[in-house]
Amino acid sequence: MTWLALLRTAVLTASAAVVVQPGETLEQIAQRSLGDARGAAELKALNGLTGDTLPAGATLRLPGPERARAQNALMAARNALNQSDLQADGRAEAAESLGRAEQLFQSAKYEESAAAADAAWRLLSGSSARSTRFAVQVTDGQTKVTSRSGRPVRVEREGLSRAVHPGEAFTITEEIFPGAAPAIPELVSPPDLARLTTRPNPKGIGGAALSWQPVAGATRYLVEIVPLESPSAKPIALSVDKPAARVSLPVGKYAWSVRAVAEQGGKSNSSSRRSFELAVEPLKLEVKETRWK
């Protein structure tokens, strides 16, 4: 996860818990509640889960404000590492501390993660007279970056960038970065590991109907279908303007995922991947009773 992606997800939902919806995966819950599907590992650790399958109606605990504190510490440490003048040994020590902070964050140990990230930042911030100092403030869904000293802080989003010079403040908004990626689509149907059937036909071709939740700001969707039984086969790529697609496929097993595309060209990350099997419907033989003897 990039440090800017963390900026976008620093604001948590107001509720302290989330209820699992029918058919929802842990990644989808993380996307809905934390704004990032990769937060699934955090929810798993925070709730002491041993598997990824959850019953509908189950209640999951959500992180508190300590998560945002850890995110800000991680962002500061990453930016300091990218702009540091430290020699190899010093950078390696700081990178090790930052890596430990990342692992602790994924394990939902937010206080320890923030402490490790702060330690990395302190190693880097004292590296020279030109050390860069900046602050990150998240309020009402907006993120404000203030550069205090040193070199300019570079803010990036989907290939677009903006330099924030010492003494300047910059607020990240969708209007400033119109090419930003939309949210990750949530797959709806068919459910994972579904078995779809098609009527017998000479070509062994059947239809599969795929659907997902519409994404705000998306003008089209990119669907990728990967044949699982033919590793060398080329994935099937579709571009559709609605949150649904119907495709004709040979019988077999497939995995599929979806990306959303915004009007300005920004693309989301791929959705969680689901798989399904397309099989021929068994023939039904009807034997009629006869009176012949």
**In the chain, which residues fall in CATH 3.10.350?**
17-61
| Strand extents, DSSP E, the chain | 17-19, 59-61, 133-139, 142-149, 153-157, 160-164, 169-172, 187-189, 194-198, 205-212, 218-227, 236-240, 244-250, 252-262, 274-280
Q: Tell me if residue 261 falls in helix, strand or coil.
A: strand
Q: Going by C-beta distance under 8 Å and a sequence separation of 6 or more, which residues neighbour residue 177?
A: 157, 158, 160
**Would you state the pLDDT for residue 14?**
38
Homologous superfamily (CATH) of 187-280 is: Immunoglobulins (2.60.40.10)
- Spelled out in words, what is the top-level CATH class assigned to the domain 17-61? alpha beta
How large a percentage of the chain has pLDDT more than 90? 25
**Would you state the pLDDT for residue 36?**
82
Distance CA 61, CA 30 (A): 11
What is the torsional sign of CA 8, 142, 267, 18? positive
Q: Write the pLDDT tens digit of every residue in 172-222.
A: 765 555 556 678 899 999 998 999 988 877 777 888 999 999 988 889 999
Quick count: other Cβ atoms within 10 Å of Cβ 288? 4
Distance CA 50, CA 47 (A): 9
**Would you state the pLDDT for residue 128?**
44
**In the chain, which residues fall in CATH 2.60.40.10?**
187-280
Quick count: other Cβ atoms within 10 Å of Cβ 217? 16
Q: Tell me if residue 141 falls in helix, strand or coil.
A: coil
List C-alpha distances in Å: 73 to 84, 120, 134, 264, 273.
16, 9, 11, 32, 31
- Cα end-to-end span (Å), the chain: 78
- Return averaged pLDDT per consecutive 10 residues of the chain, 293 residues in all: 40 62 87 85 90 86 88 84 65 84 91 88 63 74 76 63 72 62 87 87 84 89 90 86 93 92 80 90 63 59
Distance CA 262, CA 179 (A): 7
Quick count: other Cβ atoms within 10 Å of Cβ 25? 21
